[in-house]
């Protein structure tokens, strides 16, 4: 009887909690016996703690384990401890034992243990807390990182202003996340391939994409993604995680051609919950592809906080299931990011395989200009996060080592302001695409049915000039 009740536990538990009659017991009211009242399935801090005295003794515990045992082969304690034990197999063994059938020797269980390392070199106050890597020992390198972050932020502010004035469509800001793009663009080789999401403007600027290109794209002109300065990087990807399989396909081609190139796929924390991402990292690990996944964990997938999105303690550990390393890096520490991404690229280029880097940052802005983040998070939370933002952190360090001054700051701001204004002027003076161009890039030869539609659009366009 106890075994029967154990196998029906989901139904009985729901019936008991909801006060419904249990059809499993012939429609009669389910009454709690003393041992069933003790029967619980409790989830606390991601660990499974099972059950009861009698239920475990009669239904679950393998031979030789006491009720209080916490042996790693015990299915009760296998979850979240890295031990791969299948509870159903234990159930089958118990049933065979009760029937007197021959039971084969129980197989040994393999154990998998992993550590997720986190990396930081500059703390929130701009103080060194780690060894300075080679890529940051020259002040000029640090100043270059600082310049691109400042330029990106000024561009960001202008783009939002254009959207508010009705001169730009919906725009996704990178406020507070500039360090990730700056680090990526700094260490990637020219012939590597970038697969961005929609906040990696700093990386794109460093790789030859112009500010006018980005403005054209968000202004509704797809020619903005027809990069003139960077022909093999992929365009902005708004569909969540859609770029991950594309990046894997490109990395596979690189490996087949024996090229010393790397695909870099940037994705948000929300994208790691998509099937596209899971399939992509599985393929990357199986084939040991030259690819680096960078997760911009800014704490929010639109209005979904990180803690409600996944039960995983870190996003980096998702790489472990795919068979390659994952690590966390302070996403507001541009020095640590540059160092860790550089090492991951080198490893991939040498044929050692992929890496996943979870960059821990914070989205100081709305998700896009179509969002109002004040509806789901407090102003106090955002205010506290400004203390950790990346630009002030690096500027403080540059001041400490006497490599930056107030005059340098003002000169940089003026230079970036002029560059942004020139890009805006170029964008606003670019004539719109003719309506019939929507037909021009679908087919090599336009089908007859669409030829008629295109002709009607041309006629309508002429009549409205």
CA distances from 44 to 4, 47, 48, 80, 309 (A): 27, 6, 7, 11, 17
State the pLDDT at residue 1.
43
Q: How confident is the model at residue 75 (pLDDT cuts 50, 70, 90)?
A: very low
40, 47, 72, 376: which is the annotated catalytic residue? Answer: 376
The model's pLDDT over 19-34, given as tens digits with 9 standing for 90+, comes to: 333 333 333 333 333 3
**Residue corresponding to tokens 């890009």:** 423
pLDDT at 258 over 50: yes
Residues 6 or more apart from 51 whose CB is under 8 A from it? 38, 39, 40, 41, 60, 76
Least confident window among 2-6, 73-77, 240-244, 358-362: 73-77
* Average pLDDT of every residue of the chain: 82
State the pLDDT at residue 442.
81
- Does 427 participate in catalysis according to the annotation? no
Q: How confident is the model at residue 433 (pLDDT cuts 50, 70, 90)?
A: confident
State the pLDDT at residue 284.
98
State the pLDDT at residue 229.
82
The model's pLDDT over 121-175, given as tens digits with 9 standing for 90+, comes to: 999 999 999 999 988 999 999 999 999 999 999 999 999 999 999 999 999 999 9
pLDDT at 369 over 70: yes
> Quick one: average pLDDT of 343-357?
97
Task: Indicate the pTM of the whole model.
Answer: 0.76
153, 207, 367, 393: which is the annotated catalytic residue? Answer: 367
140 membership: H or E segment, kind and range: helix 139-164
The model's pLDDT over 76-135, given as tens digits with 9 standing for 90+, comes to: 223 223 333 334 454 454 455 445 555 555 555 667 778 899 999 999 999 999 999 988
CA distance 25 to 47: 31
CA distance 319 to 267: 14
- Does 377 participate in catalysis according to the annotation? no
State the pLDDT at residue 432.
87
199, 207, 261, 363: which is the annotated catalytic residue? Answer: 363
State the pLDDT at residue 355.
98
State the pLDDT at residue 15.
34
The model's pLDDT over 291-317, given as tens digits with 9 standing for 90+, comes to: 999 999 999 999 999 999 999 999 999
State the pLDDT at residue 402.
96
pLDDT at 366 over 50: yes
Which of 306, 284, 293 shows the shortest CA–CA distance to 358? 293
- Does 201 participate in catalysis according to the annotation? no
Eight-class DSSP state of 56: I
């Amino acid at each position: 009887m106890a075994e029967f009740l154990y196998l029906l536990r989901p139904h009985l538990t729901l019936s008991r909690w909801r006060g419904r009659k249990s059809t499993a017991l012939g429609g009669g009211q389910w009454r709690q016996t003393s041992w069933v009242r003790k029967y619980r399935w409790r989830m606390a801090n991601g660990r499974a703690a099972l059950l009861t005295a009698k239920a475990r003794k009669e239904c679950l515990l393998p031979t030789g384990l006491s009720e209080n045992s916490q042996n790693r082969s015990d299915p009760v304690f296998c979850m979240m401890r890295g031990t791969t034990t299948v509870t159903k197999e234990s159930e089958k063994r118990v049933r065979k034992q009760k029937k007197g059938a021959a039971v084969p020797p129980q197989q040994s269980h393999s154990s998998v243990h992993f550590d997720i390392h986190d990396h930081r070199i500059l703390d929130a106050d701009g103080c060194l807390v780690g060894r300075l890597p080679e890529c940051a020992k020259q002040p000029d390198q640090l100043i270059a990182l600082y310049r691109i972050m400042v330029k990106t932020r000024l561009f960001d502010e202008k783009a939002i202003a254009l959207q508010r004035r009705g001169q730009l469509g919906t725009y996704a800001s990178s406020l507070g996340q500039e360090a990730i793009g700056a680090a990526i663009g700094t260490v990637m080789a020219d012939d590597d391939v970038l697969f961005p999401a929609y906040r990696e403007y700093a990386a794109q600027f460093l790789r030859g994409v112009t500010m006018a290109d980005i403005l054209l794209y968000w202004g509704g002109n797809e020619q903005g993604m027809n990069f003139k300065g960077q022909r093999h990087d992929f365009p902005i990807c708004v569909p969540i995680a859609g770029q991950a399989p594309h990046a894997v396909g490109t990395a596979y081609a690189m490996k087949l051609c024996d090229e010393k190139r790397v695909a870099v796929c940037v994705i948000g924390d929300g994208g790691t919950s998509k099937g596209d991402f899971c399939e992509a990292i599985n393929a990357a690990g199986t084939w040991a592809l030259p690819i680096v996944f960078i997760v911009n964990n800014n704490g929010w997938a639109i209005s979904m906080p990180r803690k409600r999105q996944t039960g995983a303690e870190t996003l980096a550990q998702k790489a472990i299931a795919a068979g390659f390393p994952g690590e966390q890096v302070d996403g507001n520490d541009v020095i640590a990011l540059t160092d860790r991404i550089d090492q991951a690229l080198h490893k991939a280029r040498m044929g050692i395989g992929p890496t996943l880097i979870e960059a821990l940052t914070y989205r100081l802005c709305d998700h896009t200009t179509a969002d109002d983040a004040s509806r789901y998070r407090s102003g106090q939370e955002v205010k506290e996060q400004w203390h950790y933002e990346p630009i002030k952190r690096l500027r403080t360090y540059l001041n400490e080592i006497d490599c930056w001054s107030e005059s340098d700051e003002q000169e940089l701001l003026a230079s970036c302001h002029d560059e942004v204004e020139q890009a805006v002027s170029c964008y606003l003076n670019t004539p719109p695409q003719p309506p019939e161009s929507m037909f021009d890039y679908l087919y090599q030869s336009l089908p007859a049915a669409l030829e008629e539609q295109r002709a009607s659009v041309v006629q309508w366009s002429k009549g409205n000039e």
